[in-house]
Amino acid sequence: MTQQLSLKDILKELKTPTSERAKLITEAYNFAVKAHAGQKRDSGDDYVQHPIAVAKILAQMGMRSKTISAGLLHDVAEDTPTSLEEIEKKFGKEIACMVDGVTKLGRIKLRGSHEEYFLENLRKMFMAMAADIRVIIIKLADRLHNMQTLEYKPPEKQIRIAREAMEIFAPIANRLGMGEIKSQLQDIAFKYLDKENFDKVKELEEINYKNKEVYVKQAIKELSEEIKKEGISVIQIDGRAKSLYSLYLKLKEYDMNISRIHDLAAVRIIVPEVADCYEVLGIVHKKYRPMIGRIKDYISLPKPNGYQSIHTTVFGPDGKIIEIQVRTQKMHNEAEFGIAAHWIYSENKSKKNWKDYIFKKKQTIPENDIVWVKQLRQWQSEIGLDNEEFIQGLKIDFFKNHIFAFTPMGDIIDLPEDATPVDFAYAIHGEIGNHATGAKVGGNMVPLDYRIKNGDVLEILTSKDRKGPNPDWLKFVKTSIAKSHIRRETRKDNESIGTK
């Protein structure tokens, strides 16, 4: 049996507690306890321990009372005699719709080949995601708790559930910026999918991190003193070890030679303001010599999933190599729990773009304004029932690494790796893509099949005389948005020729 949780464990995790929110969660808790009465899990626990654990995870992420309540109720309609209509009557349509969405996602299973999984299951999952991301966040919390209790499942189920975690849920958590959830899912899945390498990497990390731990502690002490001297307040400073699966991927790059991994041990410094981050970076470099080429400023240029922090690798105490990470508390929360860390639904009706939030830091992220979710919804309606095309696009747009490129006005465009100026043009506006005749990068002409590099500044040249896109562009464009526009315009041209 596992640790027994109660209502108090959920309520104490609320980030913005109010009596009204506590009341709703309490009602959902009591409803779930009554509905699941008599049911048991494979661990021998009362079944209701699972939705309570899910609700606790959601509260830790910073989710609000409606989402937490839906987490408490997420298995009621599926696993008890209580109907969805009863849930809606008691808790309203919004919570009932989330419960229904999670129930539908629960029916998705990884079966057969990876290709079959892509064709049949990913489509359903992402359609649900495009409708309401809270459903996916609840499902991630649900899967995380199931992974934490995977030892009680039979071996064949352990493998299937672990594969789903590694191949479906961890990439989604990563795309939503939920780094802590992604790492936990990957590490547990790694243990069940590749026990031999899991044990090997765990042993390597334990031995090597233990050796480095003394230097990490010394660096924490020395840096704390130096930062204090400069009058900068530190919210938190601590050491951390790299996640096991992340370490395994790095080790494979370096022939399993752990001495070549420089970020195995890291010191994380959390400060109040963005300006403090850069001041602390200067203090760190004054105290310890930085390693050339190992300074990464993800504050001025965040990762596509919103991750912000400064990373620098230095020669720390006794010349030992240590990575230092500097960020604000807000950045840290978002690095841990991504979109869930700043989730405000009803309170904020602003229609700001998510990039405005990341770079201007004045707005929360309304769900409907997350650009890639909007594109996904539009894309699905354009593609219709073409599963093959949907999946091919997903492999590119969703799972590949993304880059940032800039318009001459400084607007930031989020694109997959190997995207071209044509992809860039269509990401700005369909008509710009349709009338594109050329492109400049940094003021120099480049071909339309040029592969955009992270940080490029692009100018798209257009002409009103161009009647539409060149069908040959389909040979090199990468994004689904560009492909769908080109195909649609090409069909229009062919139909107009046919009517003449």
Spans of all domains in the chain: 7-193, 195-336, 371-498
Laid out side by side, the sheet with 458-462 consists of 444-446, 436-441, 458-462
Of the candidates 9, 27, 78, 222, the residue annotated as catalytic is 78
CB atoms within 10 A of CB 129: 22
Nearest Cα to Cα of residue 131 among 345, 374, 355? 374
With bands split at pLDDT 50, 70 and 90, how would you rate the model's confidence at 144?
very high
297 is catalytic: no
Asked whether 67 and 108 are in contact (CB, 8 A), the reply is no
> What's the whole-number mean pLDDT along residues 175-196?
92
Burial class of residue 342 in the structure, from the number of CB atoms within 10 Å of its CB (0-12 exposed, 13-18 middle, 19+ buried): middle
Cα–Cα distance measured from residue 189 to residue 429, given in angstroms and rounded to the nearest whole number: 41
> What is the rounded average pLDDT for all residues in the chain?
83
With bands split at pLDDT 50, 70 and 90, how would you rate the model's confidence at 452?
very high
Write out the CATH class of domain 371-498.
alpha beta
Of the candidates 9, 27, 46, 79, the residue annotated as catalytic is 79
> What's the whole-number mean pLDDT along residues 303-331?
90
With bands split at pLDDT 50, 70 and 90, how would you rate the model's confidence at 454?
confident
Statement: residue 360 has pLDDT above 80: no
Question: Cα 182 from chain centroid?
Answer: 7
Question: Cα 41 from chain centroid?
Answer: 29
**Which of the pair, 353 or 313, is modelled with greater confidence?**
313
Both structure tokens of 401: 């690494």
CATH number for domain 7-193, candidates 3.40.50.450, 1.10.3210.10, 3.40.50.970, 3.30.930.10: 1.10.3210.10
Q: What is the pTM of this model?
A: 0.70
The CATH-assigned architecture of domain 195-336 is 2-Layer Sandwich (3.30)
382 is catalytic: no
